[in-house]
């Protein structure tokens, strides 16, 4: 089980990313538009730099929904390999059987 503080920090980042997503996208569009004057693009760059760091989607890290584990994460299932194995062993995933021979 991951520390509660790390799980909560990740939730806080997700909220910030969602909150600033539209603003970041519009500023990036201005910055990447070569038709705009250099001064306007530079102002957009400064405005983007003033936004909170954790509002960038790059800073998000995938974590297991059940345990909060950051490693060995299956994107499709949104859980870690350990949680997947436990659920499979308990018969809670349809069609999945832990093999032994």
pLDDT in the model for residue 2:
79
Q: What does the pLDDT average to over 29-36? A: 94
Residues 24 and 14 in one domain: yes
pLDDT band at 24 (very low <50, low <70, confident <90, very high): very high
Contact 63, 69 (CB under 8 A): yes
What is the rounded average pLDDT of the residues 16-45? 95
Asked if residue 1 has pLDDT above 80, the reply is no
Q: Are residues 18 and 52 in the same domain?
A: yes
Mean local confidence (pLDDT), 32-54: 94
Domain count, the chain: 2
E strands present in 1-101: 73-74, 79-80
Q: Which of 21-35, 53-67, 85-99 has the lowest mean pLDDT?
A: 85-99
In terms of residue numbers, what domain contains 75? Answer: 63-93
Residue 100 has pLDDT above 80, yes or no: no
Check whether 37 has a pLDDT greater than 90.
yes
Give every CB contact of residue 85 below 8 A, 6+ residues apart in sequence.
98
What does pTM read for this prediction?
0.76
Do 51 and 76 have their domain in common? Answer: no
Looking at residue 71, what is its pLDDT?
93
């Amino acid at each position: 089980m991951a520390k509660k503080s790390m799980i909560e920090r990740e939730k806080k980042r997700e909220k910030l990313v969602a909150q600033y997503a539209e603003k970041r996208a519009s500023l990036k569009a201005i910055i990447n538009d070569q038709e705009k004057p250099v001064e306007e693009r530079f102002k957009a760059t400064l405005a983007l730099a003033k936004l909170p760091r954790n509002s960038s989607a790059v800073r998000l890290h995938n974590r297991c929904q059940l345990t909060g584990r950051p490693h060995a994460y299956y994107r499709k299932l949104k859980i870690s390999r350990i949680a997947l194995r436990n659920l499979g062993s308990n018969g809670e995933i349809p069609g999945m059987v832990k093999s032994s021979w």
